[in-house]
Amino acid sequence: MTDLGTSYLGLDLRTPIVASAGPLTGDIEMVRRLVDAGASAIVLPSLFEEEIVHEEVALTLALEAGSEHFAEALDYFPGGASTRLPAPVDRHLDHLAAVCEAVDVPVIASVNATSSGSWIRYASLLADGGASAIELNVYDIAADSSRSGAQLETDHIALVTDVCAVIQVPVAVKLSPYYSSLGHLARSFAGAGAAGLVCFNRFYQPDLDVDTREVLPRIDLSSPWELRLPLRWIAILRPLIPDVSLAASSGIESGRDVAKALLVGADVAMTTSAVLRHGPEHIAQMEAELRSWAAEHEYESVAQLRGSVSHATTADPAAFERANYVRTLHSWV
């Protein structure tokens, strides 16, 4: 039987199949089902600073409603800053603790913030709360025309440097595919202390109701064809940063998709959409498919197959670069 053991962020995993951040990992019973089905690690939903700020503002407005309208209201509430954590942070830490208690696989906490201080504060709380690793969910729409691409990348490198200097557990960065020089940035993140990179963050696009002229949130589950972008970049990045863990995300639907990710150099494959479509037990089917494929192709271990079709090892490295463009265009029949 093929040894499917792998290492991600220095964590030993039974298989390379990881349940990534999503609605199911936010529910303790679903987490148990995912792990029972074979998920080798769990990534919790992101703690978003916007949710924290929104709830704090709403609470402040509620507390101040009616204050100073009556003399008695002037000193109704005691002064001084509260030492309590914001409610969304408390809920997140409670869920983290419950998951760590319920399952025996690594639990990775995810955070998305807007300032260096916030990144450090929330990442530290999650690390101290029992997370095996921290995933920095760098979801940043570059809509500010006064901020250059170079400045954006410099800011992102700085935040990774700041967090890694403080956090005692491994840190992964969930990347966007839209940076101007992804290879250079990946090396910079590695130099800043990142133990791993997740390829890629999937930006959800808003829709527009033409009748009400309302901007609407829309979520479409990923499809297997979306794996092509992570495959290309993981193949290119693997030889550039050989000591950094790489995770493939988006389009992981089957065991064969996991095999593709491993072949180009990924250490793990993360899935959310597949388990939302088919249920947590789909993890077991993915593992069975991966084992069957590995046995058919006579691979004895993940270590043996990992990176065997990366940019550095494939017989046709140009297939991952611009030279493949014309060939792809002519492949349409």
Return the DSSP state at 86.
P
Q: Are 271 and 24 in contact (CB under 8 A)?
A: no
pLDDT of residue 57: 45
Q: Are 135 and 43 in contact (CB under 8 A)?
A: yes
pLDDT of residue 51: 81
CA atoms of 271 and 283, how far apart (whole Å): 9
Lowest-confidence range among 74-83, 259-268, 271-280, 317-326? 74-83
215-258 pLDDT, tens digit per residue, is 988 888 999 999 999 999 999 999 999 999 999 999 999 999 99
Q: Give SS3 for 171.
A: strand
Quick one: average pLDDT of 86-103?
95
pLDDT of residue 82: 53
Number of domains observed in the structure of the chain:
1
Gap between the terminal Cα atoms of the chain:
40
Q: Judge whether residue 272 has pLDDT over 80.
A: yes
pLDDT of residue 63: 45
Q: Are 231 and 258 in contact (CB under 8 A)?
A: no
Q: Judge whether residue 290 has pLDDT over 80.
A: yes
**Is 120 inside a domain boundary?**
yes
CA atoms of 220 and 277, how far apart (whole Å): 11
**Is 209 inside a domain boundary?**
yes
Interhelix angle 49-64/87-102, rounded to 10 degrees, is 130
28-50 pLDDT, tens digit per residue, is 999 999 999 999 999 999 999 87
Q: Give SS3 for 133.
A: strand
DSSP 4-31: --EEETTEEESSSEEE-SSTGGGSHHHH
Which CATH number is 186's domain given?
3.20.20.70
Q: Judge whether residue 323 has pLDDT over 60.
A: no
Q: Give whole-number Cα distances, 100 to 44, 129, 137, 310, in Å.
A: 11, 9, 21, 35
Return the DSSP state at 244.
S
**Is 121 inside a domain boundary?**
yes
In degrees and rounded to multiples of 5, residue 51 shows phi and psi of -65, -40
Q: Judge whether residue 202 has pLDDT over 80.
A: yes
**Is 1 inside a domain boundary?**
no
- Tally the C-alpha atoms within 13 A of residue 309's C-alpha that lie toward its C-beta: 11
Q: Which domain holds residue 21?
A: 6-330
Band of pLDDT at residue 58, cut at 50, 70 and 90: very low
Residue 12 burial (CB count, 10 A)? 10
CA 153 from centroid of its chain's CA atoms:
18
CA atoms of 28 and 124, how far apart (whole Å): 22
Band of pLDDT at residue 204, cut at 50, 70 and 90: confident
Q: Which single residue is written with the structure tokens 């593709």?
A: 260
Tokens for 285, please give them: 């089917």
| H or E element that contains 45 | strand 42-48
Band of pLDDT at residue 61, cut at 50, 70 and 90: very low
Band of pLDDT at residue 55, cut at 50, 70 and 90: low
**Is 117 inside a domain boundary?**
yes
Return the DSSP state at 142.
-
**Is 317 inside a domain boundary?**
yes
**Entry pTM:** 0.87
In degrees and rounded to multiples of 5, residue 256 shows phi and psi of -70, -35
- Tally the C-alpha atoms within 13 A of residue 14's C-alpha that lie toward its C-beta: 14
Band of pLDDT at residue 66, cut at 50, 70 and 90: low
**Is 92 inside a domain boundary?**
yes
Is the C-alpha dihedral spanning 23, 25, 26, 29 positive or negative?
Answer: positive
Band of pLDDT at residue 144, cut at 50, 70 and 90: confident
- Percent of the chain beyond pLDDT 90? 71
**Is 235 inside a domain boundary?**
yes
